[in-house]
Amino acid sequence: MTTVLVWAGVVLIGGVGSVTRFLVDRTVTRRAGRPFPVGTLVVNISGAALLGFLGGLALSKDAALLAGTAFVGAYTTFSTWMLETQRLGEERRTFAEIANIVVSVVLGMGAALLGQWLAEQL
């Protein structure tokens, strides 16, 4: 059974994850200076690597909930990725739209596998 303390941790750590996402996305987007949603791409790829790493560790149920669901779940963003992809389509930037999907999935899978492999080496 999940305790009140764990739920409070989910709220706090989830908040940290979402603020971290905002800061990373904004920083990367400013530095890239391109209309392609590279900030969201960096957030989701780094989140996939982190979640793969956490999945490769022998975490307790509560630790996995706090680290994986609360932080990484709040840090990564499927909805923003899809909205940005849809907007690329609206702008008739078909190559960028398809690239956003393919690159995100391929790099995301690779990052998750790499993170898991790294954790298993510990």
Average pLDDT of the residues in 2-6: 88
For the full predicted model, state whether its pTM sits above 0.75. yes
Distance CA(86)–CA(100), nearest Å, equals 10
Residues 6+ apart with CB under 8 A from 34: none
Distance CA(73)–CA(35), nearest Å, equals 25
Which value, in Å, is the radius of gyration of the alpha carbons in the chain?
16
Distance CA(122)–CA(116), nearest Å, equals 10
In tens, the pLDDT along 33-55 reads 888 999 999 999 999 999 999 99
Among candidate residues 117, 96, 118, 114, the one with its CA nearest the CA of residue 41: 96
Q: Got the DSSP string for 88-110?
A: HHHTT-HHHHHHHHHHHHHHHHH
Distance CA(89)–CA(2), nearest Å, equals 43
Distance CA(67)–CA(15), nearest Å, equals 12
In tens, the pLDDT along 8-31 reads 999 999 999 999 999 999 999 999
